[in-house]
Amino acid sequence: MKSLIKETIKLPVTYSVSGDAEDHRNELVLDGKAITTITTAAKNEEAGVIVREMRTYVKSVEDMRVILTKPLLEGQRLLKALADDHIAPLKDEIVRIERTGLAFVQAERRRVEEEERKRQIAFQQAEQERIEAERKAQAAAQKLADDESKRNANAAAKAEVKVIAAEEKVQAIIAAPVPEVARVKGQQVKKTLKHEVTDIYALVKARPDLCKIEAKASAINATCTPEMPNPPPGLRLWWEESTTYGANRPY
């Protein structure tokens, strides 16, 4: 395949963290591991200082990652836009041609269904003609058995010829190739199930297994509390406490 773009894109094979960054990270980890228990206010203050230093460093790393990846993401966006714009006419043609091909296959299916319908009608008519010819042949044979006149013999022979012709007609219809939809090699027609919910409440009532019911966490957090006098049925509410060391604030 020919190259998509004229420019050459070169990226490093791997990325590695600088030695200074590794050392600073390790120092912060060791400082944190030194905090095993907090039994005094001084220890609590020390823990807060260490956590704030860690948070500051984590944020600086995340900020640096964003700065470093921004040109890569921008390049990715530009390349995707370039590729999408480049292949857009082809994708449009693919959709158009495949729709045209589907229309042909559907027309072929209708043709095959109509030919099969006519073939079944022809078979039934031929079968009826064969049965009628056999009935007449049996009647002619019975007449010949009752009266072996030349006239009855000729009638019986003609009736037998008609039976043979009727049987051949039936067999010809059976042996004829079954009509098939014509399509090129590799062309596939698949069915994809689509659906539209016209009444979600009726659907839930009739087939709850076809529906997904979820609690809206944002709405619960905005309107509910454990202290509310009439909590919604089926919902348990409680408070959980957590602590965090944020930036120093004057009190």
Tokens representing 77 are 């966006």
115 found inside a domain: yes
Look up the domain containing 61 and give its range.
Answer: 19-175
What is the C-alpha separation between 251 and 249, in angstroms, rounded? 6
CB neighbours (10 Å) of residue 106?
12
What is the C-alpha separation between 86 and 80, in angstroms, rounded? 10
Number of structural domains found in the chain: 1
Three-state secondary structure string covering 50-89: HHHHHHHHHHHHHHHHHHHHHHHHHHHHHHHHHHHHHHHH
25 found inside a domain: yes
29 found inside a domain: yes
What is the C-alpha separation between 97 and 91, in angstroms, rounded? 10
Helix axes 41-146, 150-175, angle to 10 degrees: 170
185 found inside a domain: no
pLDDT digits over 92-150, tens only? 999 999 999 999 989 998 999 999 999 899 899 998 988 988 888 888 788 777 777 77
196 found inside a domain: no
114 found inside a domain: yes
195 found inside a domain: no
72 found inside a domain: yes
pLDDT digits over 206-215, tens only? 999 999 989 9
